[in-house]
């Protein structure tokens, strides 16, 4: 039996058993030193890197359009001296408590989760990942490029409760977690699974429908209003590279009428958003490697831009390992344009 089938079968067993995973103590670490992104900001536009943060957001459809209008120009992406991820193992964490903070029901449908795992399994060695191979790092006098390689590291399902809301998300009143609470959850799961950080692992956290998030208690940068997802890092020895993936929201995080090759528009939207965050994590894991003069990373310049649908009767623009996807394109510095495959 292939690794792909084992993973999906394992997820099905976990779901049938209540998706249980025992809670464990959270390892305490010193507060992280914050990074500052010097990219220009214009009032009224979503900031890709909230002040004092180590995260980079994917704006909503409306926010991305406003930024594209204000900061016109197709790149180029510039190298700022930081590291890239030459190859990455991709991990999925599904945080599915019995209830939301306000007592409402939680939901991460099995098909939704299976599609996210299938995508992370398929991402290495295919067209989008190949676009990453033009980006490099320089250490001393040595230049090394990203490889079209990698793996699926595994998944975890955590049924432990969400903490008390640390923020106020207008889309999910009473149900909101901060970036600090998200980091604590990722640390907890890593500890329970024996997973380690470093510049070769990306941890993608998926949360339930009805659960929002904001960067911090000020609630100025929140899910569905300012962002649809974000990636970042925390810790330093080694750093932990991660992405926060709120449950899909078609009204703000997808173009109206976008095709759904898997018959699940919300899951397909989140798959594309995950692709955006994984690609940006690989090319700019510490927010100091590849971005343009306006702070846009490779995914930002092509957000909600899917190109031509040539697969699955016009419902998909990518076919990897026999699986169909509708994924946004990524920026190709060689042609200064969005591409479905590269370089």
pLDDT beyond 70 at 147: yes
**Alpha helices for the chain (secondary structure H):** 3-16, 61-70, 110-122, 127-131, 179-193, 250-253, 265-283
Q: Where residue 43 falls among pLDDT bands split at 50, 70, 90?
A: low
Residues 264-280: pLDDT tens digits? 999 999 999 999 999 99
pLDDT beyond 90 at 149: yes
pLDDT of residue 2: 46
**Alpha helices for 95-210 (secondary structure H):** 110-122, 127-131, 179-193
Mean pLDDT of 215-228: 96
Rg (CA), the chain: 19
Q: What is the mean pLDDT of the chain?
A: 89
pLDDT beyond 50 at 70: yes
pLDDT beyond 60 at 256: yes
pLDDT beyond 80 at 302: yes
Answer yes or no: are the C-beta atoms of 211 and 205 closer than 8 Å.
Answer: no
At 185, give phi and psi (nearest 5°).
-65, -45
pLDDT beyond 70 at 14: no
Q: Under DSSP, is residue 184 helix (H, G, I), strand (E, B) or coil?
A: helix
Nearest to 213 by CA among 28, 55, 98, 328: 55
Nearest to 161 by CA among 192, 185, 135, 139: 185
Mean pLDDT of 30-35: 36
pLDDT beyond 80 at 94: yes
pLDDT of residue 45: 82
């Amino acid at each position: 039996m292939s690794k792909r089938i084992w993973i999906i079968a394992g997820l099905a067993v976990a779901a049938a058993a209540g998706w249980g995973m025992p809670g464990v103590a959270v390892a305490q670490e010193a507060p992280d030193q914050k990074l500052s992104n010097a990219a220009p900001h214009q009032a009224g536009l979503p900031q890709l890197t909230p002040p004092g943060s180590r995260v980079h957001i994917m704006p909503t459809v409306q926010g991305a359009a406003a930024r594209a209008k204000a900061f016109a120009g197709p790149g180029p992406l510039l190298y700022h001296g930081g590291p890239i991820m030459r190859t990455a193992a991709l991990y999925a964490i599904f945080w599915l408590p019995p209830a939301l903070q306000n007592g409402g029901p939680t939901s991460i449908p099995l098909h939704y989760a299976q599609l996210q795992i299938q995508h992370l399994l398929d991402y290495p060695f295919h067209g989008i990942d190949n676009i990453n191979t033009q980006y490099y790092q320089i250490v001393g006098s040595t230049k090394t490029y990203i490889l079209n390689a990698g793996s699926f590291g595994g998944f975890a399902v955590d049924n432990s409760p969400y903490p008390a809301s640390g923020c106020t998300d207008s889309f999910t009143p009473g149900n909101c977690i901060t970036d600090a609470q998200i980091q604590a959850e990722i640390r907890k799961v890593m500890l329970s699974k024996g997973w380690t950080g470093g510049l070769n692992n990306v941890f993608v956290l998926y949360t339930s429908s009805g659960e929002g998030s904001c960067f911090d208690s000020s609630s100025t940068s929140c899910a569905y209003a300012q962002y649809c997802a974000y990636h970042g890092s925390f810790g330093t020895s080694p750093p932990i590279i991660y992405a926060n993936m709120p449950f899909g929201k078609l009204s703000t995080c997808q173009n109206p009428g976008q095709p759904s090759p898997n018959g699940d528009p919300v899951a397909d939207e989140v798959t594309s958003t995950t692709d955006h965050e994984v690609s940006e994590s690989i090319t700019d894991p510490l927010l100091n490697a590849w971005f343009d003069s306006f702070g846009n990373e490779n995914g930002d310049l092509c957000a909600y831009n899917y190109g031509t649908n040539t697969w699955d009767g016009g419902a998909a623009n990518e076919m990897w390992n026999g699986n169909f996807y509708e994924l946004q394109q990524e920026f190709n510095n060689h042609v200064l344009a969005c591409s479905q495959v590269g370089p």
